[in-house]
Amino acid sequence: MDLLKVGESLSLSEYLKRLWTHRHFMMRVPLEDLRAQNSHTFLGSIWLVLNPLLQVGVYFLVFGLIMPIDRGVDQYLVFLTIGVFVFFHSQRVISESTRSLVINVGLIRTVHFPRAVLPISATVGQALAFIPIFIVMTVVVLAYGNWPHLRWLLIFPVFIIQNAFSLGIGLIGARINHSYRDLENLLPFIFRLLFYISGVLYSVDSVVDDDFWRAIFLLNPMYCLVSLWRWVMVGTSAGGEVWLATGIWSLLALLIGLSAFRSKETTYGGTG
Amino acid sequence: MTDLAIRCSDAHVNYLVRSNRQLIRSMIRGQKPEVRVIEAVKGVTFDVDVGESVGVIGPNGSGKTSLLQAMTGLLPLNKGEILVKSVPTFLGVQAVLRPQLTGWRNIQLGLLAQGLNKSEAEDMTNSVADFCELDDFLDLPMETFSSGMKARLHFAVATALAPDILLIDEALAVGDRSFQKKSSERLKEHRSKAGTILLVSHNLEEVRQSCQRVIWLENGVVVADGPADDVIEAYETS
């Protein structure tokens, strides 16, 4: 009679197989959480649309009416909206996956399942929450006379690449945050810094004009993602090297993330 | 020859406690930060056969819960090993699924978490709900449940799939009498289908009723392991 050794980690293929059997769970948890999130508010789920709408409203008020600057960019409001929504989406995926182990410690101690379910389902949740945000973004893009283009076929692939990257970083984050809860406090500042150096508010091309510095910006995956999205939505130039850099970043993040996460898999219910 | 369900050999579980104050103080002095090691389980060895029901008793802090959690693979062992027939299901009091969600949704989540697919979970939801006897309360968020009601729901979810090995940590103690009776019936039925149960409880009467064998832990080591009546008697007179 074969006995299993408790606490022994599964092989990668076995692990991925177990993840697959939990796919219904991974889909259901974020759906339920989204439902519960706004259950105490008067407007309920309408907030999912209202939130990005108000955000754009504020930008319109500030940059369209009060101080109409364009920082050398055509359609600054469109530029800004895409940048901010895309950046914040990755930020939310990464922070939510990072916190997912700590928030769900009750579930971890109760039910046996591959723990990567939690960061993945946090990512799925944010991806679902991005749908209304994406719709608002598209409305802004259309409102400024940017008609649908063949490039729009790449929206979904770019979105997948973005989420793969963010999940990969989130897996690493979750692994660190489990041992050092300090990361949660640090993350907002890291993102604040990234926000300013990723060309969300300004066009990097208008700031740097030598190849060396442009290459340095390619080392920043958030800059790459924001650039790709702008190219797909409104055709702001993004060369092949941006695609390449983003692809490499996503693949690396996912591979390193998964192996870093799995290396501590059996300890996630403990005290860290 | 009977089949083995659990083989626990020389299991050690340690907790590391880092103290913040010491971390800063030692950094100033340039020493390595001090880490306190608390040995919760210090070399526990026993075998459990398939279909056996074993009670684990002992004073607070004797390592009972740590031992159970180590068996689920939740706490890493520092030494020794635990072999099991299949990964045990753990049932504890503090178990929470999603407090903001209703009882119904928690039942479904609990079933999905155990790897069921959507339609299997739908099919099973009603029978689990019937077992909890919470009726209309299931429409309320779980955060509004009393601890006894939570325990009912959780017991029903955890035992729904009839896991090979069930580890129960004080979870039955919070239910009322009728539910305790009902749950011990379900455990009996479970055992008759070759299910194995480990039950941690301070309620010695409950242990005596549902277990043939008892392990007495103290300070992380086994003091006695034998027929329920003998060990409980020795424990009571100690």
End-to-end CA distance of chain A: 34
pLDDT, tens only, A67-110? 777 667 788 889 999 999 999 999 999 999 999 998 888 778 77
Whether the CB of B107 is below 8 Å from some CB of chain A: the reply is no
Cα(B221)–Cα(B12) distance, rounded to whole angstroms? 10
Q: Which of B7, B76, B116 sits opposite A3 (nearest CB)?
A: B7
Look at A256 and B167; give whichever has higher pLDDT: A256
Distance from CA of A218 to the nearest CA of B (A): 38
Mean pLDDT value of segment B75-88:
86
The verdict on residue A204 lying in a domain is yes
Cα(B123)–Cα(B204) distance, rounded to whole angstroms? 37
Q: Write the single-letter amino acid at A124.
A: V
Residues of A with CB under 8 A from a CB of B: 1, 3-8, 18, 21-22, 24-25, 28-29, 32-33, 36, 39, 106-113, 266-267, 269-271
Where are the strands (E) in chain A, listed by range?
4-5
Mean pLDDT value of segment B109-117:
85
**Beta carbons of A73 and A79 less than 8 angstroms apart:** yes
Interface of B with A in 134-163 (CB under 8 A): 154, 158
Cα(B4)–Cα(A250) distance, rounded to whole angstroms? 46
Look at B28 and B211; give whichever has higher pLDDT: B211
Cα(B70)–Cα(A109) distance, rounded to whole angstroms? 11
Distance from CA of B209 to the nearest CA of A (A): 25
The domain total for chain A is 1
Cα(A69)–Cα(B146) distance, rounded to whole angstroms? 58
pLDDT, tens only, A232-268? 999 887 778 899 999 999 999 999 999 999 998 877 8
**Which of B65, B100, B145, B164 would best serve as a mutation to test chain A binding (most A beta carbons within 10 A)?**
B100
At residue B225, the 3 state secondary structure works out as: strand
Q: Write the single-letter amino acid at A90.
A: S
Distance from CA of A123 to the nearest CA of B (A): 17
pLDDT, tens only, A106-149? 778 777 788 999 999 999 999 999 999 999 999 999 999 998 98
| ipTM, two decimals | 0.72
Query: What is the layout of strands, in order, in the sheet containing B4-18?
Result: A4-5, B79-84, B4-18, B35-49
pTM: 0.83
Cα(A107)–Cα(B137) distance, rounded to whole angstroms? 21
Using alpha carbons, list the distances in angstroms from residue A105 to A27, A37, A109, B13.
19, 19, 6, 19
- Domains located in chain B, CATH noted: 4-88+163-237 (3.40.50.300), 97-161 (no CATH)
Q: Write the single-letter amino acid at B227.
A: P
Tokens of A253: 């993040």
Q: Which of B71, B100, B117 sits opposite A6 (nearest CB)?
A: B71
Question: With an 8 Å Cβ cutoff, are A109 and B90 in contact?
Answer: yes
Question: With an 8 Å Cβ cutoff, are B73 and A112 in contact?
Answer: yes
The verdict on residue A20 lying in a domain is yes
The whole domain housing A35 covers 12-267
Using alpha carbons, list the distances in angstroms from residue B162 to A94, A122, B19.
37, 29, 42
Among the listed residues A266, A263, A9, the one whose alpha carbon sits nearest the alpha carbon of residue B73: A266
Within 8 A by CB and 6+ apart from B91, the residues are A110, B154, B155, B158, B159, B166, B167, B168, B169, B171
Q: Residue B4 belongs to what H/E stretch?
A: strand B4-18
Nearest CA in chain B to A39: B100
Output the DSSP codes for B172-208.
Answer: TTTS-HHHHHHHHHHHHHHHHTT-EEEEE-S-HHHHH
Within 8 A by CB and 6+ apart from A244, the residues are none
pLDDT, tens only, B178-225? 888 888 888 888 878 878 999 998 888 888 888 889 999 999 999 999
> Which pLDDT band, with edges at 50, 70 and 90, does A271 fall under?
low
Query: Please, is B56 exposed, middle or buried when counting C-beta atoms within 10 Å of its C-beta (0-12, 13-18, 19+)?
Result: buried
Distance from CA of A22 to the nearest CA of B (A): 5
The verdict on residue A17 lying in a domain is yes
Nearest CA in chain A to B115: A22
The verdict on residue A4 lying in a domain is no
